[in-house]
Each structure stands twice: as C-alpha cells, then as structure tokens.
Structure 1
Amino acid sequence: MKPVTSIVLSIMFVLMLATTSTRAEGDRELGVRIVAATMFKIALVFVVAQNAVLLLEAIASIATSITNTANSVDVGTGGGDAALMGDAMRDDLDDLGNMEKFGMIVILFLPWVVQKIAAVIAIVLVFIRFLQMYMLTAFASLPLAFLGHDDTKSIGIGYLKGFASVAFTGVIIVVAVKMYQALLGGWLGNIGSYDGDMVGFIFGNFGQFFVAPIVLIFLLFGANGLAKKVIGEG
C-alpha cells in the first residue's frame, strides 16, 4: 500500500499548500506563519503515515497488556477443598441401573453440548480477531494519510478507532471467560448441598447447568459491540 499512500499524500499535500496560499494572500507575515504551520503539519502527517505500523503496534501492546492483567486475575475454580461433582456422585451413580445411567447421560448431554459450543466460539473469535488485526495492519499507511486534511481526517480517526476496537475485543473475550469461570466456580461451590439424592439434585439444578455457558456465549457475541462502546466508536 505504500505506493498508493505516496500518491494520496502527494495529492493531500498539494491541496494543503493550495489552501494555505489562498489564506496567506495580502499579509506576508501571516503568510509565513501559515506556511510554516502547514509544512510542520505535512511533516507530521508524513511521519505518522511512514510509521503507521508502529502506531498500531502501540495500540495492540496496550490491549495485550490489559489482556494479560485480566488473564492473571484469580477468580476461583469452584468449591475449594470440597469434592468434585463427579467424585461426590460416583458411588450413587455406580448403584444406578443401565437405563437410569442412560437417562442421566441424556439429561446432561445438552448442557455439555452448550458448554462445548461456547468453547469453540471463544476459539473462533480469537482467531478472527487476529486475522482482522493482520488485515487492518496491511492497509495501515493509507487511512492514516487522510489525517492531513480536515475534510478527510475522519477516515483516519475512524480507522484508528476500528483497529482499537478489534484489539480491545480480545480484552472483552478474556474478561468474558473470566466471568464464566467466576460464575461456574460460584455455582460449583454449592456442591456441598448434595445429600445423596442424585436424581433430585440433577433435576433441581438442571437449569443452572445452562446458565454459565449461555452467559458466556452472549458475552462472546457481544464482545465486539462492547469494545466499540469502550473505544467510543459505537
């Protein structure tokens, strides 16, 4: 994109100098000031366009730093020293007949599928985010070249906001996963209420098996919208 960017910059600089010459007519001192300010602006736009990738890397580094910080937060993983759900129910499950075991499998299969779908969605969205950042970086110099003119600077600003929203989508995804862990961990902390009635416990808490993965799915699909609101784009 650099050859195209060079052409666009040339046109932009000519327009800027033409506008400056019109404003400077009739006042030599004012004209010198305006031309100097315009030349400084031209040099600044040229440096920004030339180092567009570095600017995007700085935005990505900020998002990565926040992501690493959020990922290092310990939200708990469940019931602490309490027995895991499967271990607590193992003896009662072994006492069930084959048909009853099959019934338990059927009941728990759908929540398990929802949880797996949520995990796949999270992985897919992460890959999409990296691909979007890669493609946006490939065109970095061209949108930033439009920052030089008042009539077109909204293009460059919109591009920077768009890249920042994609970068911060990863932050929202990590926060969503952490919320999922916290929600699931809080629910698993109630495993102590299991009193040996496995069928009653399963049916009594059946809806809760769906809560955490469904919340995660909604948060993942809304990650891009939330990132745009954080950046101020949406």
Structure 2
Amino acid sequence: MSVDVITSAGLLNDMCVDMLDAVGQGVDDNMLGMIAKSPEAFNHTLAAAAQTVAADAARPVASVILSVVIMLRMAQIGLKADGDQRTALRMVAMAMVQSAIIIVFAQHAADILSALSSIGDWMMGRIRHAVPTGSAGRALGLGTRLKDEIGRAGTIDQAGMLVVLLPAWLVSRLATVVVTVVVYLRFIQIYLLTALAPIPFALLGEEHTRQWGIDYIRQFSAVVVQSVVLYLSLVFYRVLAVQSVDPNSYHAGDSLGSWIVSNYGGLLLASVLLITVVVTSNAAARKVLGA
C-alpha cells in the first residue's frame, strides 16, 4: 500500500471523526463561559474605551443638556407661580433637588449600567452553580466515541459517510456561527450603550424627554436579560442535544453507515435546534420584560 493511500485513508478517518464531533457537540464549555463573562472580562480594552468615551465625550454633552433642562424648568416655574413667591420657592427647591439627582445619575451613568450588567453576571453564575453543564458535555463527542468503528469502516464507506454527514455538518457550523455572532453583538451593544449613557440619563430631567431616558435604561436591561436567558437556554439545549442521538445505540458488528442514516434525523435536529434556541431565547427575554 502506497504512502498516498495510507495518508488518504487517515485523512478520511479524521474528517469523519471531526464531522461527527462537530454535529453532536453543539455549544461547548468555552462558548458558555464566553456568554457568562462580564464586559470587562470579555474585552478589557473595549470596556475601558467605553468608560473613557462616556467621561470625555458623552458627559460634557450631558452637562450642556442638563443646563438647558434646568433653564427650561426655571422658566416653567416662573410661569406657573404667577407672582406667588411661596409657591415659586417651593417649586424651585423641588426642581433643584430633582436636578441634583439627575446630575449625579448622569455623572455616574456608566457605573450604573455596569451595576445592572453585574446583576446579569451574578444570575448566570448562580445558574451555573444550580445547573452544572459539565455532565451534559461528557455525553457529546460522537466521532471520538466511534473512532475505532470509523477506522474499520474502510475508505469507500468513510467517503460515503462524509457525503451523508456534510449537510448536517454545514448546519452545525452555521448554528455555531449564529450563536457566536449573537454573543459578540451582546457585548458590542453593552459597550455602545455604556459609552453614550450620560446623555440619555440627562434627558430624564425634562418631562418631554424623560421617556427617552427610560427607554434607554430599558434597552440596556433587555440586553442583560437576553444574555441570561440565552445562557439558560443553551444549558437546556445541551441536555436535549444529548438525547437526540444516543451513541450507545450502536453495537459492535452493526453497519456504521446504517446507524448514521437511521440517526440522521437526530444529528440534524441537534443543529437546527441550536438555531431555534437562539431565536426562542430572544422572544422569552422580551416576555420577561413585558414586551
């Protein structure tokens, strides 16, 4: 047997093993760990940049907005008081207290959002403690568990397995990309919302713009809740993915190709289910927020 034939057979064997592992793996511990990271732990440089932008760019703009808001409030008080000094004094005092609170909020807006984000990080930590993910991950790795049987299948059978597994493998790769993109977008949203946080917080001081600031805080809270729900959904998914294909159903002497064909629906289901879980988690997060 030539070296080329031996190399080709080994390559086919490794590709079959890797494809089965990828199809059955779904989301590994590294991905779950990435979701559970805080914004600072995920990318310290971007987190620091968001804080710098909030302090050096957004905060001065917020100060100007607050100045205009306070002037408008004073003008409104003058019209409402209509010469009544006692009423005017009481309204001015209330307005100044409210303005002082808004100023503090705007000055520390980025810190307030970081505190909201840390609540989500704490919840994911508690979920990880309550529902360990390691036991689900040990049942995966179909290709590794069937490596010896794949090696004995022969070059022609292995080539046929590659053709059969290719669609399921492509769907599994697409599912992994979808999850990765969603995770990265989550952190990008947090960095962007943190960088501009002082401006919408300053808008809380004016009656006509107050809803803008409330919606901003609600949007940031939605991102945090979506992360928690996505993490919990993926933990549940890993348990279901293990049940979709049972490698113990293969017995020595069985046709490996026939086993793959008979379990093909489960192999494909694991990948399709992963994409569906991401979509469902976003819908569930909106329900949690009352949207």
TM-score by length of 2: 0.70
Bigger drift between 95-104 and 41-50 goes to: 95-104
Instruction: Find the aligned partners of 1:91 and 1:213 in 2 and give their Cα distance.
Output: 25
User: How is 1:109-148 mapped onto 2 (pairs within 5 angstroms)?
Assistant: 109-148=166-205
Q: CA deviation at 1:33?
A: 2.4
Distance change in 2, residues 1:38/1:210 (3 Å): same
Give the unaligned 5+ runs of structure 2: 1-57
Distance change in 2, residues 1:79/1:166 (3 Å): closer
Distance change in 2, residues 1:46/1:90 (3 Å): closer
Q: CA deviation at 1:141?
A: 0.5
Query: Which residue number corresponds to residue 219 of structure 1?
Result: 277
Give the unaligned 5+ runs of structure 1: none
Q: CA deviation at 1:45?
A: 0.9
Q: What root-mean-square deviation, in Å, do the aligned CA atoms of Structure 1 and Structure 2 show?
A: 2.5
Q: Is the 8 A contact 1:169 1:223 kept in 2?
A: yes
Instruction: Find the aligned partners of 2:260 and 2:99 in 1 and give their Cα distance.
Output: 69
TM-score by length of 1: 0.85
Match among 5, 21, 30 for residue 78 of structure 2: 21
Q: Secondary structure at the match of 2:190?
A: helix
Q: Percentage identity across aligned positions?
A: 31
Q: CA deviation at 1:3?
A: 2.1
Query: Which residue number corresponds to residue 165 of structure 1?
Result: 222
Q: CA deviation at 1:46?
A: 1.0
Q: Is the 8 A contact 2:244 2:269 kept in 1?
A: no
Distance change in 2, residues 1:79/1:192 (3 Å): farther
Q: CA deviation at 1:174?
A: 1.6
Instruction: Find the aligned partners of 1:180 and 1:35 in 2 and give their Cα distance.
Output: 57
Instruction: Find the aligned partners of 1:193 and 1:54 in 2 and give their Cα distance.
Output: 53
Query: Which residue number corresponds to residue 194 of structure 1?
Result: 250
Distance change in 2, residues 1:79/1:14 (3 Å): closer
Query: Which residue number corresponds to residue 132 of structure 2?
Result: 74
Instruction: Find the aligned partners of 2:181 and 2:217 in 1 and give their Cα distance.
Output: 24
Match among 106, 112, 117 for residue 49 of structure 1: 106
Instruction: Find the aligned partners of 2:92 and 2:160 in 1 and give their Cα distance.
Output: 82
Distance change in 2, residues 1:79/1:9 (3 Å): closer
